[in-house]
């Protein structure tokens, strides 16, 4: 079932497309005037989260390595009546993180909602896994989220309001053969979420995680039917998730309706894991 780990990387629009036409019809979720920063926003879950936050009224800073893809997402949001800006970011390097945070804060004034979504995989059996592959995944998925949160959370503290939403994975809760590095990074993200929630609660900042299960993407569509049937059999709701399922959860956690929720991992997996 290791294919679900790519949920933050896939360039598919299922679910997310449902939101585009409705961006101009902003929901009254309390996000109007809020500034959100979404990493890995050029595609997949990150793109879907950006569209949903824009639809909810937030101005969205889109961050990823591909500016061309980000600009296409930004144009999509703006054309539908929202506000978005594209910023180059490589979460695997401290220099890029600091530079991106600096320019976002300089141009937009603050960051009130942070969605740490960007991530990578380097799958392999433990006995064959290279240290570089282990380190790369931890540095990108866990250290990157820590450093970016560290770089922008002061602006939340000043406003005494903020939302940090970390996209983890069901694999971080269950483990997965061949993904020791990825599972460790995502489990670490859950621990980071709880620690940050305790540190910043007194400043009006909530910190939560979302753990997607098997999310349908272009890549998962190419899996053998027998493999997909085996995965589906593990999901009580008997369907795969889509990017909109995750984006809707992110928009909820960013809203005032979730103001009394912090340190929580929200499982969006169709019942695949019930912890």
Tell me the pLDDT of the chain (275 aa) as tens digits. 333 333 333 334 444 444 555 554 555 457 999 999 999 999 999 999 999 999 999 999 999 999 999 999 999 999 999 999 999 999 999 999 999 999 999 999 999 999 999 999 999 999 999 999 999 999 999 999 999 999 999 999 999 999 999 999 999 999 999 999 999 999 999 999 999 999 999 999 999 999 999 998 765 777 788 888 898 999 999 999 999 999 999 999 999 999 999 999 999 999 999 98
Catalytic residue (one of 182, 240, 260, 273)? 182
Are 207 and 193 in contact by the 8 Å Cβ rule? The answer is yes
Going from N- to C-terminal start, the domains of the chain cover 2-268
Token readout for 187 is 């489990």
Are 11 and 40 in contact by the 8 Å Cβ rule? The answer is no
Are 235 and 24 in contact by the 8 Å Cβ rule? The answer is no
| CATH superfamily of this structure's domain 2-268 | NAD(P)-binding Rossmann-like Domain (3.40.50.720)
Whole-angstrom Cα distance, residue 264 to residue 173? 13
Cα angle: 99, vertex 116, 44; to 5 degrees: 110
- Strands 205-212 and 35-39, by their bridges, are unpaired
Give the CA distances from residue 199 to residues 41, 84, 185, 264, in Å, rounded to whole numbers and listed in that order.
27, 30, 21, 14
Catalytic residue flag (residue 182): yes
């Amino acid at each position: 079932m290791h294919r679900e780990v790519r949920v933050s990387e896939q360039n598919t629009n299922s679910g997310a497309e449902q939101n585009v036409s409705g961006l101009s019809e902003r929901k009254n979720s309390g996000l109007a005037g809020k500034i959100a920063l979404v990493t890995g926003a050029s595609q997949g879950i990150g793109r879907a989260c950006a569209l949903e936050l824009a639809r909810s009224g937030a101005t969205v800073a889109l961050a990823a390595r591909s500016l061309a893809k980000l600009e296409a997402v930004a144009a999509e949001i703006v054309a539908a009546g929202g506000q978005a800006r594209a910023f180059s970011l490589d979460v695997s390097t401290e220099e890029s993180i600091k530079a991106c945070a600096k320019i976002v804060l300089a141009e937009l004034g603050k960051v009130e909602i942070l969605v740490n979504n960007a991530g990578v995989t380097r799958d392999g059996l433990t006995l064959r896994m290279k240290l570089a592959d282990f380190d790369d995944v931890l540095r990108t998925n866990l250290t990157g989220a820590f450093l970016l949160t560290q770089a922008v959370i002061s602006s939340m503290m000043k406003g005494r309001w903020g939302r940090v939403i970390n996209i983890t994975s069901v694999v971080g809760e269950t483990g997965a053969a061949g993904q020791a590095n990825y599972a460790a990074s995502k489990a670490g993200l859950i621990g980071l979420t709880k620690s940050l929630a305790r540190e910043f609660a007194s400043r009006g900042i909530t910190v939560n995680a979302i753990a997607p299960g098997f999310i349908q993407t272009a890549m998962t569509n190419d899996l053998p039917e027998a493999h997909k049937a085996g995965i589906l059999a593990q999901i009580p709701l008997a369907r795969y998730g889509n990017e909109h399922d995750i984006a809707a959860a992110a928009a909820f956690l960013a809203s005032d309706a979730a103001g009394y929720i912090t340190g929580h991992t929200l499982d969006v997996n169709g019942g695949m894991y019930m912890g």
